[in-house]
A and B are shown apart, each in its own frame.
Chain A
Amino acid sequence: MGPRRTAILLLLAASQACAQPAAVPPAAPNPPPAPVAAKGTPAAQTKRIFLPPPLQWDNAMLTFRPALQQTPSDFANLTGGIAFGMSAPAVNAHLPDPYPGLGWNGLPLANEYPGEVRYFGVPITLAGPLRIGLAACAGTASYVVFLFSERGLFRLSYRLIADKTCTDTNQAAQEIFYRYLPIGQTVARSMRYRSGKTEVVDITDSAAGYLIPPRWRQDIN
């Protein structure tokens, strides 16, 4: 385990208030050049569109169901094998550089959730397949948090923090959100919001029940 990983794990354990690992400075890709518009003549730009799976309605348009059959394996295909319900050591083992000796009791509590929820995080640069081939810059301090109830993994939370090298992480958040959106709400619930200076993308197990609503808030830390 490298010194950066050790530092983030130690700082994770030290911050009990909320599922927020401390910042570490891994290398980040350079941001793509922003389109420049001449003064008074805005340049034509193409906007990204988000395409959730379609719904199938009956002819009277009284009832609907998902038009596509999706299963947890569709989700696992996106995450390199990480699936909801996995234990913390099992998730850790799927990471490219796992933490040695990581166990449930050693994980800090995420106090924004009811009941016992624990977490650990990794810098997004060390998240392996969860980095999903980001083209946009993500900020050197950005990270992915894995949140666990006693039933296993129920949420992946991407926290994208702007910095001097990447002044806007909205594009990266859009890319991540875009990647998970085709997975229907019956399998995983994707949510995107901003908290303070952080862009957040939460991917939550649809079966997580009362653990679905809580959202991360930067200002309570």
Chain B
Amino acid sequence: MALQLKRVLWLLTISVMWPWFAANAGPQPFDLQLFVPPVIADSQAPIVCTVIYLIADIANNDLFAARMRIAPREADTPVHNRLPCPASVPLRVALQGLDVCTSRAADAKSCVFADMSRGFDREPNIANTSQIESRCSSDTFSDIAGACWMSGKLSVCAVACGQSPEEAVSRARERCQEKHRQSCPVTVTVPVSGP
């Protein structure tokens, strides 16, 4: 009788505890809710070198900003939180910048560097542009700008760098007006390191 009572009590205990046992006996759910934490940008991290070129498609007056990020050397140390850029940038980097236009234009010859020489309106070709003056580096400047005037349907531009969008635009306009002896009301600016 006592044995039977024990069995009854045991069965009662099991039945009461059943949901708890069942929860542990079954297979674990596949969704373990192991959420991947969001990637948090380190706002204190130094700015990696970016060299930016302004490129113009003179067939439709489009302006491209070609951004080239350059990996730092191990020994590089940031100055004012900006990693240094190489002292000289090979021509192949500039030509790759030009490619953002040539690969998207109907005629590759319509793609030129956006800093144009005086007389570009009469001879609009790449020989009358400067790849060096069409670029800015993130170790020394935060913004690049272009300022242009319209020679008929052709946009003729100059490029400058600055420590703010306003400064870059002002310098580009000044350079354009000085070089081309024209008022240069059409402007554009973009951060060197990009969004």
Q: A and B bound?
A: yes
Contacts of A52 in B (CB 8 A): 64, 66, 100
A205 to B66, CA, bound (A): 22
Question: When the two chains form their complex, are residues B104 and A190 in contact, meaning their CB atoms are under 8 A apart?
Answer: yes
Contacts of A43 in B (CB 8 A): 185
Question: When the two chains form their complex, are residues B65 and A51 in contact, meaning their CB atoms are under 8 A apart?
Answer: yes
Question: When the two chains form their complex, are residues A189 and B71 in contact, meaning their CB atoms are under 8 A apart?
Answer: no
Question: When the two chains form their complex, are residues B69 and A49 in contact, meaning their CB atoms are under 8 A apart?
Answer: no
Question: When the two chains form their complex, are residues B64 and A61 in contact, meaning their CB atoms are under 8 A apart?
Answer: no
Closest residue of chain A to B71 (Cβ to Cβ) is A59
Contacts of A181 in B (CB 8 A): 104
Question: When the two chains form their complex, are residues B60 and A194 in contact, meaning their CB atoms are under 8 A apart?
Answer: yes
B60, B71, B104, B186: which contacts A47 (Cβ < 8 A)?
B186
Question: When the two chains form their complex, are residues A50 and B70 in contact, meaning their CB atoms are under 8 A apart?
Answer: no
Contacts of B195 in A (CB 8 A): 51
Contacts of B54 in A (CB 8 A): 49
A49 to B59, CA, bound (A): 15
A191-B73 CB under 8 A given contacts A50-B64, A51-B65, A64-B68: no
Interchain pairs with CB closer than 8 A, number = 106
A185 to B136, CA, bound (A): 24
Contacts of A61 in B (CB 8 A): 70, 86, 89-90, 92-93
A47 to B54, CA, bound (A): 13
A192 to B189, CA, bound (A): 22
Question: When the two chains form their complex, are residues B93 and A44 in contact, meaning their CB atoms are under 8 A apart?
Answer: no
Question: When the two chains form their complex, are residues B148 and A47 in contact, meaning their CB atoms are under 8 A apart?
Answer: yes
Instruction: Indicate the member of B62, B68, B93 with the most A CB atoms within 10 Å.
Output: B62
Instruction: Indicate the member of B50, B54, B188 with the most A CB atoms within 10 Å.
Output: B188
A67 to B92, CA, bound (A): 17
> Which interface class (under 10, 10 to 19, 20 to 34, 35 or more) fits B?
35 or more
B68, B150, B185: which contacts A57 (Cβ < 8 A)?
B68
Question: When the two chains form their complex, are residues B188 and A47 in contact, meaning their CB atoms are under 8 A apart?
Answer: yes
Q: Quick one: CB contact mask for A143-186 with B, threshold 8 Å, 1 for yes?
A: 00000000000000000000000000010011001000100010
A50, A59, A170, A173: which contacts B73 (Cβ < 8 A)?
A59
Closest residue of chain A to B193 (Cβ to Cβ) is A54
A51 to B190, CA, bound (A): 9
Q: Quick one: CB contact mask for A40-64 with B, threshold 8 Å, 1 for yes?
A: 0111111111111011111101001
Question: When the two chains form their complex, are residues B188 and A42 in contact, meaning their CB atoms are under 8 A apart?
Answer: no
A191 to B110, CA, bound (A): 13
Contacts of B190 in A (CB 8 A): 49, 51
A50-B68 CB under 8 A given contacts A43-B185, A61-B93: no
The reply to whether the CB of B72 lies closer than 8 angstroms to some CB of chain A is yes
Question: When the two chains form their complex, are residues B105 and A192 in contact, meaning their CB atoms are under 8 A apart?
Answer: yes
B138-171 contacts to A, CB under 8 A, are 146, 148-150, 155
Question: When the two chains form their complex, are residues A49 and B104 in contact, meaning their CB atoms are under 8 A apart?
Answer: no
Closest residue of chain B to A193 (Cβ to Cβ) is B106
Closest residue of chain A to B93 (Cβ to Cβ) is A61
Residues of A within 8 A of B (CB): 37, 41-52, 54-59, 61, 64, 67, 170, 173-174, 177, 181, 185, 189-194, 215
Question: Could you show 21 A-B contacts with beta carbons less than 8 Å apart?
Answer: A37-B185, A47-B63, A47-B186, A48-B188, A49-B54, A49-B64, A50-B65, A51-B190, A51-B195, A52-B64, A55-B66, A55-B68, A57-B69, A57-B71, A58-B70, A58-B71, A61-B86, A61-B92, A181-B104, A191-B106, A193-B105
Residues of B within 8 A of A (CB): 50, 54, 59-60, 62-73, 86, 89-90, 92-93, 96, 100, 103-107, 146, 148-150, 155, 183, 185-190, 194-195
